[in-house]
């Protein structure tokens, strides 16, 4: 074991060394997401900013794509992190996994550079293959899609083969089946059709089934491991909860897909099916909160990694409010008719992606920071613990400010543009020029600055936490329940 407090990959197993690489790229892309989000937010206030240099469409595309990719990198890292511990054997095919990491990262860099430098192409299928698909969240050109599929097949092989060689835990079993679904679903987005209804129908298979089903289950798996690690919760408790969560997540989430099929040319029965099942989607999120809070209480918040536990609790709460409450608020078709495609959606999107997913990956960053420094002390009285606390505080203050500002703008937009003016061109600008909307955009910008500061603190903290500690990690006593 290397010196306490000093970063050394000798402290890590093979899968965890690879995870550190994924986490590093994830943290950098998180920064890109924040930066380009700030550009786009500022363009609402000063539309001439970077006009015809980096237009809103470019900034927004980089903003959301960086989000998707850094979260995926976080999940990949999270899975590689837990793999050897769970399966009890070294990762099978680790050399190939490392090679794929570099290829995938090179592909991501090329895709982003093309977004920024080339931006658009002629109305030709070649543009779809080489430049941009123009479909929100999965704008990456087709060549990159193929690269992603190959990469994830290797990833799936690593995970399945490692569990098969070692032992399948409950977490492992759920994870392997979920990854199979996750990557199978990506194929549903890889085709061109002139029919915009058919296009959006399958596009939602990818987006919804990732974000509101399979991603939730991945997070359920890695956060189950997190609770075992940071609190010492018994595996049987965690895994029983995981099955309950999977039943409820897929039971509500699969047909909850219907809430995207209200207004795209799909039949009317989706209004009833989508409304009903998506109204159930918050239920598993409540269960996850109960689970995390109950376990934390049973263990009297006695944790060997305070920042990771704090972000774990933030994840449970953020998931419930962002995905659950904010989603439910506008998921019924009677309301969604007016709110669909307004800043209301933006408000929900920000809190949901951040609350449900960003927080989970950040919790893993702290787990990685601890172990890579020789399993250093990260409980109460940690030297320099103000940084992680303020990073968390600034990010959440900034996020909540953005979310509330966008929600107010969304209410106004739904009322003025949609209900009163009927979403015409003039109605749109009537809504956008209302003082309440403009104030919303200004306050969102303020929230963005707070969040950016929280991001900088987070990076600084991840790079330095535990450096000046000399105590080894707190040993957790087995739980009494």
Partner 1 sequence: MSQSQPVWWASESLWRKVAIWVTGGSLVALIFLTFDTMAYIKAGGINVPAYSIINKRVGYEFNEEHNRYEPVIGPDEPLFGKMLSEEEAKELVSKGKLNVQAKNCMGCHTLMGNGSYYAPDLTKSWLDPAWGSKEIREDQMVAFIMDPSDKLHNGLGRKMPRLGITEEEARATVAFLKWMSAINTMGFPHNFKAIDQSDPEPSASATVVETVDVMDTGGAADNAPAQQ
Out of 311, 338, 354, 450, name the contact with partner 1 by CB under 8 A: 338
Q: Which is nearer to partner 1, 109 or 196 (CB)?
A: 196
Compute the least distance from the CB of residue 255 to partner 1, in Å.
Answer: 6
Compute the least distance from the CB of residue 314 to partner 1, in Å.
Answer: 26
Out of 110, 313, 397, 419, name the contact with partner 1 by CB under 8 A: 419
The DSSP code for 211 is: I
Q: Give yes or no for residue 9 binding partner 1 (CB under 8 A).
A: no
The DSSP code for 472 is: B
Is 306 in contact with 292 (CB distance < 8 Å)? no
Q: Give yes or no for residue 386 binding partner 1 (CB under 8 A).
A: no
Q: Give yes or no for residue 32 binding partner 1 (CB under 8 A).
A: no
Q: 82-111: which residues touch partner 1 (CB under 8 A)?
A: none
Q: Of 98-106, 130-138, 158-166, 374-382, which segment contacts partner 1 by CB under 8 A? A: 130-138
Total site size for partner 1, rule CB under 8 A: 89
Out of 128, 176, 416, 465, name the contact with partner 1 by CB under 8 A: 128
Q: Give yes or no for residue 250 binding partner 1 (CB under 8 A).
A: yes
Compute the least distance from the CB of residue 450 to partner 1, in Å.
Answer: 22
Under 8 Å CB-to-CB from 8, ≥6 apart: which residues? Answer: 2, 372, 373, 374
Compute the least distance from the CB of residue 201 to partner 1, in Å.
Answer: 6
Strand partners, 376: 472
Out of 102, 191, 269, 386, name the contact with partner 1 by CB under 8 A: 269
Measure the CA–CA gap between 249 and 214, rounded to whole angstroms. Answer: 9
Q: What is the largest CA-CA distance in the chain?
A: 67
Compute the least distance from the CB of residue 334 to partner 1, in Å.
Answer: 11
Compute the least distance from the CB of residue 170 to partner 1, in Å.
Answer: 7
Q: Of 158-166, 261-269, 319-327, 453-461, which segment contacts partner 1 by CB under 8 A? A: 261-269
Q: Of 29-37, 193-201, 350-358, 452-460, which segment contacts partner 1 by CB under 8 A? A: 193-201
Q: Of 81-89, 307-315, 336-344, 365-373, which segment contacts partner 1 by CB under 8 A? A: 336-344
SS3 of 351-418: HHHHHHHHHHHHHHHHHHHHHHCCCECECCCCCCCHHHHHHHHHHHHHHHHHHHHHHHHHHHHHHHHH
Q: Give yes or no for residue 383 binding partner 1 (CB under 8 A).
A: no
| 328's tokens | 């439910």
Cβ atoms within 10 A of the Cβ of 35, count? Answer: 16
Q: Residue 239 to residues 221, 246, 451: CA-CA distances in angstroms? A: 9, 10, 34
The DSSP code for 474 is: P
DSSP string, 91-140: PTTHHHHHHHHHHHHHHHHHHHHHHHHT----SSHHHHHHT---STT--S
Is 35 in contact with 63 (CB distance < 8 Å)? no
Q: Give yes or no for residue 463 binding partner 1 (CB under 8 A).
A: no
Cβ atoms within 10 A of the Cβ of 336, count? Answer: 23
Distance of CA 463 to the CA centre of its chain: 21
User: SS3 of 305, please?
Assistant: strand
Out of 337, 383, 393, 404, name the contact with partner 1 by CB under 8 A: 337
Q: Which is nearer to partner 1, 166 or 284 (CB)?
A: 284
Q: Give yes or no for residue 429 binding partner 1 (CB under 8 A).
A: yes
Q: Of 90-98, 129-137, 151-159, 283-291, which segment contacts partner 1 by CB under 8 A? A: 129-137
Measure the CA–CA gap between 319 and 69, rounded to whole angstroms. Answer: 19
Q: Give yes or no for residue 415 binding partner 1 (CB under 8 A).
A: no
Q: Give yes or no for residue 261 binding partner 1 (CB under 8 A).
A: yes
Out of 81, 270, 353, 450, name the contact with partner 1 by CB under 8 A: 270
Q: 41-70: which residues touch partner 1 (CB under 8 A)?
A: 43-44, 47-48, 51-52, 55-58, 60-61
Q: Which is nearer to partner 1, 133 or 469 (CB)?
A: 133
Q: Of 12-20, 262-270, 309-317, 442-450, which segment contacts partner 1 by CB under 8 A? A: 262-270
Q: Of 1-9, 96-104, 132-140, 281-289, which segment contacts partner 1 by CB under 8 A? A: 132-140
Measure the CA–CA gap between 272 and 269, rounded to whole angstroms. Answer: 6
Q: Give yes or no for residue 341 binding partner 1 (CB under 8 A).
A: yes
The alpha-helical segments, DSSP class H, found in 187-214 are 196-209
Q: Give yes or no for residue 381 binding partner 1 (CB under 8 A).
A: no
Measure the CA–CA gap between 300 and 231, rounded to whole angstroms. Answer: 9
């Amino acid at each position: 074991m290397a010196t306490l407090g000093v970063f050394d990959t000798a402290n890590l197993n093979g899968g965890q060394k690879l995870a550190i690489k994924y986490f590093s790229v994830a943290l950098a892309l998180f920064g890109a997401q924040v930066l380009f989000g700030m550009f786009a937010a500022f363009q609402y206030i000063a539309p001439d900013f970077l006009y015809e240099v980096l237009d809103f469409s470019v900034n927004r595309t980089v903003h959301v794509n960086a989000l998707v990719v850094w979260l995926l990198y976080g999940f990949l890292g999270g899975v590689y992190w837990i793999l050897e511990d769970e399966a009890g054997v070294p990762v099978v095919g680790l050399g190939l996994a490392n090679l794929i990491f570099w290829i995938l990262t090179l592909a991501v860099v090329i895709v982003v550079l093309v977004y920024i430098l080339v931006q658009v192409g002629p109305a030709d299928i070649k543009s779809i293959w080489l430049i941009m698909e123009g479909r929100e969240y999965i704008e990456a050109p087709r060549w990159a899609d193929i690269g992603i599929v190959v990469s994830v097949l290797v990833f799936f092989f690593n995970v399945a083969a490692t569990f098969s060689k070692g032992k399948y835990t409950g977490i492992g079993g759920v994870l392997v089946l979920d990854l199979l679904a996750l990557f199978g679903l990506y194929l549903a987005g890889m085709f061109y059709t002139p029919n915009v209804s058919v296009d959006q129908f399958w596009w939602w298979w990818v987006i919804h089934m990732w974000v509101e089903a399979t991603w939730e289950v991945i997070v359920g798996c890695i956060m189950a491991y997190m609770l075992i690690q940071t609190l010492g919760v018994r595996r049987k408790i965690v895994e029983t909860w995981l099955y309950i969560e999977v039943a409820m997540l897929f039971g509500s989430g699969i047909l909850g897909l219907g809430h995207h099929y209200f207004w795209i040319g799909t039949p009317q029965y989706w209004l009833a099916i989508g409304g009903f099942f998506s109204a159930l989607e918050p239920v598993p999120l409540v269960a996850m909160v109960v689970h995390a809070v109950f376990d934390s209480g049973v263990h009297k918040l006695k944790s060997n990694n305070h920042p990771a536990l704090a972000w774990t609790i933030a994840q449970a709460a953020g998931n419930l409010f962002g995905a659950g409450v904010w989603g439910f608020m506008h998921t019924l078709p009677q309301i969604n008719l007016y709110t669909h495609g307004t800043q209301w959606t933006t408000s929900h999107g920000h809190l949901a992606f951040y609350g449900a997913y960003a927080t989970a990956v950040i919790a893993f960053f702290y787990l990685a920071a601890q172990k890579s420094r020789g399993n250093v002390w990260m409980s109460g009285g940690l030297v320099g613990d103000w940084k992680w606390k303020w990073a968390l505080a600034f990010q959440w203050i900034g996020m909540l400010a953005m979310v509330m500002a966008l929600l107010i703008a969304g209410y106004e937009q739904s009322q003025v543009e949609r209900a009163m003016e009927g979403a015409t061109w003039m109605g749109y600008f009537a809504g956008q020029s209302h003082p309440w909307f403009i104030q919303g955009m200004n306050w969102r910008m303020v929230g963005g600055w707070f969040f950016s500061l929280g991001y900088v603190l987070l990076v600084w903290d991840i790079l330095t936490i535990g450096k000046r500690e000399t105590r080894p990690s707190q040993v957790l006593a087995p739980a009494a329940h």
